[in-house]
Structure 1
Amino acid sequence: MATPNRTRDSRESVAARRARVAELLRDNLAQTEIARRLEVSKDTIWRDVKAILRDTSRTTETFAERRARRVAEAEGAMRDIADAVAQVIAARPSHAIVADHIAHQWESDLREYSAALVALAEAFTECYPQGGRERH
């Protein structure tokens, strides 16, 4: 059974080897030549290449895809916050009969959330100044 340190060292050595394999692949070396240089089997290099390609395909997101994903996330978050605010307003927590410490906590929470939202709104003013040119 591998010890935690040996397992970590093993993962780090695999990661280091895969980084080196990726570098040699970018230099257009054949897998057999990479195996010879790194003194490992061709099967090891094949598994490394497969892992590199799998990881690369997961992380290669175009700018347009990343932008579309972030816009969709932001739109969803804006809908969620609008719904949450509407629910809090409808619940009228300031009119609920609760213990003082709960009422004070709710007030404190609302002030904290409000401050965070004001900071976000001010960031819009910095990025999209009133009367300025529209950015796309």
Structure 2
Amino acid sequence: MYYYHLTNYWDASDVSPPDNSSKLLRDLAEDTGGLRDDYNDRNPSNDIVIGWVKYADHNGIAYCNGFFSLGATDSPWFGWADWPHDSIAQHEISHLFNAGEGGFWCNEHPECIMNYCWASGLHGTDKWCDEHWDVVFGNINGLWE
């Protein structure tokens, strides 16, 4: 496994409005897509890119089976739903390995990082439920898509 940390590489100043998570994620993919060709084993299908911004209209965003995810360091919900940054990263990267959402309220789903209530600053879990763990583990190890 290779790990690269590039600071100040991505320029999101052309995104308008500047806090639109979907547009920020699209811009991240446009501006850094070539990095996936240049690093590691030169096989972009094995690489993911994670971008961070100070503020966005969501704590994070990623699309299932994608290669790019975005996290925001400041909550758009004025402290109510401020997630620990490692939880944002774990939740969004899990989407890249095809894990879907686990619901909004804690009573909708067993304790799981993919559920907004369980992953929020209120509970801050770093666990996957069995269902989501099976999906993430299987995709990391190439067992299924």
TM-score, normalised via structure 1 length: 0.20
Structure 1 or 2: more strand by fraction: 2
- Which structure has more RCO (C-alpha within 8 Å, separation ≥ 6)? 2
The structure with more radius of gyration? 1
